[in-house]
Amino acid sequence: MSPRARLAARIALSIGLLLLVLFFVDLGEMLERMRAVDPWLFVALLALLTADRFLMAFKWLLLVRVQDLRLTFPQALRAYYISSFAGMFLPMTVGADVVRAMAVRRAGSTPKILATIALERGLGAISQILLAALSMSMIVVLGLEMGVSNLHLVLMVALLLVILLVSLPFSFWLAERVARALEGRGSLARKAGELAEAYAESRHHRGVIWTFLLLTVIEGFFPIAWYWVAALALGLHLPFILFVATIPIVFMVARLPVSVGGMGVLEGSFVILAGLLGIATDDAFSIVILCRLAELLALLPGAVAYLLVREEVS
């Protein structure tokens, strides 16, 4: 399938899933809730989204400096804003990463830049798995009804933890083998080998890796806070623990590269999972839409930066 066909399929899936969710939503009631949003809580939501972007840029800079790249915090922050804004309209994760790499390509070696992004994504996936395991554990401990037996949830948690333990060491081992296999090959293979070698070399900086992973786990609680604050802004006083039990799983599912910006997948998975925990469909959809709107507003600096430096990311 050609890239255009894959993009068209992802757009169709996103639109189709959104329309399917809308079929079960009372739009009149949802709009009434939107009109009654608490403005101060909405500002708090924007502040949380902005703080999350700053933390992301700071974390990435830790990995960038390991590779001796010439990148300042303002440059890293600008690149994150640009890529995050573009990522709302591109295939989930991958499209945004390409934009970010292009936005800082003058900082140094492109393979090293890509290696930092690859390691960031790998550690982010480990953090997401850990948080998803926490969510499932919360469901079991609190006895929340999801239509899935506790045994199945415990087995899923165990599987996630096994993946968590082996994935990072294996990725370094694999990168080292790839780098060796591509030695002395053609230009493109040589670049891929440099990327693999830079990634494998990161394993020697354990302090940075553990610091990054800890900060990433902390960052994983930001989306939980977004959705909780969005619910409060809508006048929905739902227990914080319900969002701990749902949001990490929803975000893990939404990161699958099957849609555009996770659109449709995120909304649908949150509505379904929240519904299993007793949150009405209209309420759940209102929460996720308010978060989407707040995210778009919070990323407006990225839109401005993208327009100002479009020649760098084209």
pLDDT tens per residue across span 115-147:
888 888 888 888 888 888 888 777 776 666 555
Backbone angles phi, psi at 172, to 5 degrees: -70, -45
Domain boundaries, position 153: 3-313
Question: How many domains is the chain built from?
Answer: 1
Grouping H, G, I as helix, E, B as strand and the rest as coil, residue 260 is: strand
Q: Is the pLDDT of residue 232 over 90?
A: yes
What was the pLDDT predicted at 176? 77
Q: Which of 165-169, 174-178, 238-242 has the highest mean pLDDT?
A: 238-242
For residues 90 and 110, the model is more confident at 110
What was the pLDDT predicted at 287? 92
Q: Is the pLDDT of residue 256 over 90?
A: no
For residues 108 and 237, the model is more confident at 237
What was the pLDDT predicted at 311? 43
pLDDT in tens, 4-17: 666 677 777 777 77
- Residue 81: which of 116, 120, 49 has the closest Cα? 49
Q: Is the pLDDT of residue 261 over 80?
A: no
Q: Which of 109-118, 216-225, 284-293 has the lowest mean pLDDT?
A: 109-118
